[in-house]
């Protein structure tokens, strides 16, 4: 069997990252709809809305803003 080249490995990593990003995007959409429904049906449940907002902000910061790259090593190839 032939070994995977560096380009093939990067392509597989890109596909995995894209798939994870798509799932997170769907999760954020579902949570947004859930927030809307809780806000319309039960406005006094503001604490639940706050928890969902923090959960969503964590995923946006982690996966879409790539904050983890700031703390990664500088030895990565570009």
Summarised one tens digit per residue, pLDDT across range 36-57 is: 998 899 888 889 899 999 999 9
Evaluate if residue 60 carries a pLDDT over 70.
yes
What was the pLDDT predicted at 28? 92
Alpha-carbon torsion angle 72, 74, 77, 78, nearest 10: 90
Residue 43 has which token pair? 């406005």
Evaluate if residue 32 carries a pLDDT over 70.
yes
User: If we measure between CA atoms, which residue out of 12, 25, 10 comes closest to residue 63?
Assistant: 25
Sign, CA dihedral 68-69-71-72, equals positive
């Amino acid at each position: 069997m032939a070994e995977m080249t560096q380009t093939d490995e990067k392509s597989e990593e890109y596909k995995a990252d894209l798939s994870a990003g798509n799932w997170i995007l769907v999760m954020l959409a579902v949570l947004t709809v859930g927030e809307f429904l809780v806000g319309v049906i039960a406005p006094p449940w503001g604490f639940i809305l706050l928890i969902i907002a923090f959960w969503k902000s964590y995923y946006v910061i982690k996966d879409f803003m790539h904050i983890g790259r700031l703390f990664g090593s500088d030895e990565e190839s570009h």
